[in-house]
Structure 1
Amino acid sequence: MRELILYLLRLKSLILFLFLQCICLFLIVRYNNSQRAIFISSSNAISGFFYSNSENIRSFFVLRAENESIAQKNAALLRELYQGSALKGPIEGELIDSQFIFIPAKVINNSIHGNRNSITLNIGRSQGIEPRMGVITEDGVVGIVQNVSKHYSKILSILHADVKVSVRLKSQGVLGSVRWNGEDHRRVSIADIPKHYDISPGDTVVTSGYSSFFPDGIVIGTIEDYEVISGSNYYDVSVALSLDMANLDYVYAVRHRLKEEIISLEAENE
């Protein structure tokens, strides 16, 4: 305590100076209208700066929690949406109301400019993710799970040269498969629709349901343009993706509950 008192005594001149400065500032602001206006304006600017930044920090954590909550709710809604294509019936006393489970995840890395683009998600084996699961959003197909670790997973993007997705034209049921041509991240191509079918720009392209990756009816995009391949009986169709692959945030991994049963059955006579 004695040392503190001695320290303050050494600073008595500075303390007195600051005290008198505060009194002067108070008197100037109190009795001078123009100076008072400047002081109030400056105070508002400073407090506004701190309030704004504190609110941004608070909003960051609040919005993050809200986004995660919304992602969970959307996963439940997606499951309800695709119940119509699910297997329904008593199996060992239970009613299977959906073949598909949708697991929300956040994109933490995404490439779109190469020929073999991939995406990294913040979920992995601990959350039930396995290779060869499809990945979607509410707006369309994202890709297929390639590798998983305990807490992360790597996705082969639909913008990957090796990824093909079985699709159909929604209006006619004509089957085909889409793949990326390596040029524009907003478009994919279909090269196996026979030319005797009448197709038009604006026709909707959806998943066919002929694989264990995706439910039937998920929108891929719309036909933008097409031409007959020279010397072929097939169209070369350009499809504008419904999903903005450059702006991914939350996605959903698709677990097909009966996938292993289907694979086992189809392999029996091979």
Structure 2
Amino acid sequence: MRNLIRFILNNHFALLFILLEATALVLVFQNNNYQNTVAFNVSRNISGFINTRIHTLTQYLSLQEANQALHEENRMLRNELLSSYRIATPLPEEAGPTGEWERRYNYIPANVIANSVNKQYNYISLDRGALHGIEPEMAVISGSGVAGIVTGVSDNFSTVLPLLNSDLRISSKLKNTGYFGSLFWDGTDPEKATLTDIPHHVILNRGDSVVTSGFSAIFPEGIMVGTITDFEIYGGNFWAVTVRLSTDFRKLNHVYVIQDLLREELLELEEASEYD
């Protein structure tokens, strides 16, 4: 209290000036329409500016929650796609595309917590692991296409070998013709990969889509890989096709890990065939 009284005594002239100035301004604005309008517009602009900044900050703080909600919604939609099912007991061909359907693929959402794109052997880390149903050799996709393959799993985390790793090759095909080959990254441009083993007699066009072939127990058929940007003959009989990747790995935040519910059955059958 003493400090307050001492402050008032030491600054009473300045405080009195401020009080009189404020009183004069109030009287001017109250009794003059022009000044009143100017003051109202200024206060409205200031209030609008502050409210806009508060709204922007609030939106930013809630953005992560909104993204997680959208991620979960997309997961549910993907799980309901027809491509996630197969016909378990098909009826005769003349009966049409009917029969009993069963789920083939399950999509598990995950967040990227570590990622690199500027190395030859890049890796991605996810915030989901064995407790969430993730296992090694599961496919990983983004909202726009192929991302990589799970290589390591702990209870709550997993590591992914991304397409931007020179050790990874993915069986891919031309969407419009069905010709397939091996797609890999050469360690240079994080936006492009190379598709090889396409016969040179195949007609190619820039902009043609490249998708997964489905010729493995990892990626389902038809997952977007990218689009053709260039091509040239190599080895005399094949095309080397430059593919612009549909997944932007420099902006990769959310992914889906694909669980193939029939994978073990397929692997057992393939293993048995090797010994026959």
Tell me, in whole angstroms, the C-alpha distance in 1 between the residues paired with 2:8 and 2:209: 82
Give the aligned residue type for 1:60.
Y
C-alpha distance after superposition, 1:154-205 (max 9, x if no partner):
2211111011111111122112110011121111111212223333333221
Structure 1 segment 1-270 matched on structure 2, within 5 A = 8-13=4-9, 18=15, 21-31=18-28, 43=43, 47-48=47-48, 50-81=50-81, 83-84=82-83, 86-89=85-88, 97-230=102-235, 232-268=236-272, 269-270=274-275
SS at match of 1:143: strand
SS at match of 1:54: helix
Tell me, in whole angstroms, the C-alpha distance in 2 between the residues paired with 1:212 and 1:181: 24
Tell me, in whole angstroms, the C-alpha distance in 2 between the residues paired with 1:41 and 1:210: 67
Q: 1:29 to 1:36 in 2, by over 3 A?
A: farther
2:150/2:160 contact within 8 Å kept: yes
Segments of 5+ residues of structure 1 without an aligned counterpart are none
1:29/1:36 contact within 8 Å kept: no
C-alpha distance after superposition, 1:15-55 (max 9, x if no partner):
86647623432323432679878866775565455434432
Q: TM-score, normalised by structure 1?
A: 0.82
User: Could you say what the CA RMSD is over the residues aligned between the two structures, in angstroms?
Assistant: 2.9
SS at match of 2:267: helix
2:171/2:215 contact within 8 Å kept: yes
Deviation at 1:226, TM superposition (A): 1.5
Give the aligned residue type for 2:19.
C
Using the aligned pairs only, state the percent identity. 35
Tell me, in whole angstroms, the C-alpha distance in 1 between the residues paired with 2:47 and 2:15: 22
Give the aligned residue type for 1:66.
A
C-alpha distance after superposition, 1:44-78 (max 9, x if no partner):
56545543443233212332222111111211222
Q: Write out the 4+ residue segments of structure 1 that deviate beyond 4 Å after TM superposition.
A: 6-12, 14-17, 32-50
Aligned residues: 260
Q: TM-score, normalised by structure 2?
A: 0.80
Segments of 5+ residues of structure 2 without an aligned counterpart are 90-99
Deviation at 1:112, TM superposition (A): 1.6
Judge which range, 161-170 or 48-57, deviates more: 48-57
